Amino acid sequence: MTSQKSRGTSRGTIKALAGARALPPLVIVLYHFSEGHHYTGQLWLDRFLTRGYLWVEFFFVLSGFILTYAYAPRVREVLSWRGYGAFLRARLIRLYPLHLFMLLLILAMVVILRWLAAAGGYHSIFDLPYHQDVSAKGFFLSLFLMQGWHTMDRLTWNGLSWFVSAEFALCLMFPVILWFAARGGAWRALVLIAAGLAGILVLLLTLGHGLDMTYDWGVPRGLSEFLVGSGLAVLFASVAHQRIPVWVHSAAQALLLALLVYSFAFTGWSHSFNDIYTVLPLMALVFALAFDKGIVAEALKWGPLQKIGDWSYAIYLGQTAWLLLVRFGDQRIFPPDSTPVLGTTWGNLMWGLEPVLLMAICLLWGGVLAEWVEKPAAHVLRHRLGRRLDPKSVPTPS
């Protein structure tokens, strides 16, 4: 498997994949809001929103693709103990600072909102039924990124950080996957893709609630999709040098988007085996966009999408704080849903307005976290610890 620059820029960035990261975290924000507010009652919209959790699949596949593509030229180095340590250090510099910041922020929210509840004589949102765990055990496991390893019986603290925990587990396993993938060849690509698809099918057929697996089976879920991404990277490296007409790329991307729309509209409700009909085109999109050509790829190179894509990790991980504040507002600040407002009720008015405002706030908040927490922390840590085996020091589409 040989390294090569993307057609996108001299830096090796595949801009289409960078831009493709922009929309999934915002869809996930809408999914989490909808889960807590009983959806809209509009079937076409609700079928799209209820599949919001499946956009995590896109990120797991993208992670497998990027890491395999980036590190295959230095596989021998990664497979050494020193190189393995450098790789894990580089990944933790990327993942951990923002995770720690959000964990401490949620801790502060727990303390403040429980204090307000005690002073006001009511129950804090953290002590109501169906809330995430905020125990000492969950906090300790979160500090060590082990909260998503089937160690808890529910989501804990910053519930969305289960993804970071699963991603860290995949990083621990990565040298074995890279050892197999880096030798290249179509048959290795097919083995990795087949293994990943088999894992997805096993999860869908045995657990009975689709791919909505987090604290319990999030690691097998992530591993299955990571393997698919790794196989796609092997396949991409073997065909990327070929001159494929741009119209072929455009047609493939348009077909995959059409299949996505079809899966939303015509394959029933989510949290079932039907999840596979959404996941397959989502995974294939990573490969289709990796060539950085075609009508969809060009659209994703738009500057604002590139910037939002750069903030995607912060948007995803930072949304919990605002989802909690919405729940607190519903409990203590907002009027009852039946309150008449502007010719309608407060509930009807806010169901249209609140998710739009939430998405805009999470977008801005993600930008703040990325520019003022994530990036400065990574800069300081790289300066102190070095950039050896940092993805930015090797050819990479990330």
* Average confidence (pLDDT) over 317-340: 87
Q: Are 137 and 125 in contact (CB under 8 A)?
A: no
The Cα–Cα gap between 390 and 56 comes to: 23
Can you tell me whether residue 267 is helix, strand or coil?
A: coil
Can you tell me whether residue 95 is helix, strand or coil?
A: helix
Task: State what percent of residues in the chain have pLDDT above 70.
Answer: 93
Residue 209 CB: number of other CB atoms within 10 A?
A: 12
Structure confidence at residue 311 as a pLDDT band (50, 70, 90) = very high
The 10 Å CB-count burial string (b at 16+, else e) for 100-130 is bbbbebbeebbeebbeebeeeeeebbbeeee
Query: For 133, phi and psi rounded to 5 degrees?
Result: -65, 135
With 50 as the cut, is the pLDDT of residue 127 above it? yes
The Cα–Cα gap between 97 and 356 comes to: 28
pLDDT tens digit sequence for 208-256: 889 999 999 999 999 999 999 999 999 999 887 788 999 999 999 999 9
Mean pLDDT lowest among 19-23, 39-43, 161-165, 355-359: 39-43
The Cα–Cα gap between 126 and 114 comes to: 8
With 70 as the cut, is the pLDDT of residue 174 above it? yes
* Average confidence (pLDDT) over 194-214: 93
pLDDT tens digit sequence for 28-53: 998 988 887 776 667 777 788 888 89
Give, to the nearest 10 degrees, the angle between helix 186-207 and helix 218-239: 160
- H/E run at residue 344: strand 344-345
The Cα–Cα gap between 370 and 375 comes to: 6
Burial of 387 (0-12, 13-18, 19+ CB in 10 A): middle
* Model pLDDT, residue 86: 92
Task: State what percent of residues in the chain have pLDDT above 90.
Answer: 69
Six token digits for residue 103: 């964990």
Residues in a beta bridge with 340 = 345
- What is the dihedral sign for C-alpha 319, 320, 324, 325? negative
* Model pLDDT, residue 4: 41
pLDDT tens digit sequence for 48-70: 888 889 999 999 999 999 999 99
Q: Name residues whose C-beta falls within 8 Å of residue 47's C-beta, 6 or more positions apart in sequence.
A: 264, 265, 269, 270
Structure confidence at residue 391 as a pLDDT band (50, 70, 90) = low
pLDDT tens digit sequence for 89-126: 999 999 999 999 999 999 999 999 999 999 999 999 99
With 70 as the cut, is the pLDDT of residue 294 above it? yes
- H/E run at residue 309: helix 303-310
pLDDT tens digit sequence for 253-274: 999 999 999 998 888 888 899 9
Q: Are 269 and 56 in contact (CB under 8 A)?
A: no
Enumerate the domain spans of the chain: 15-393
* Average confidence (pLDDT) over 177-191: 91
Predicted structure pTM score = 0.90
* Model pLDDT, residue 236: 93
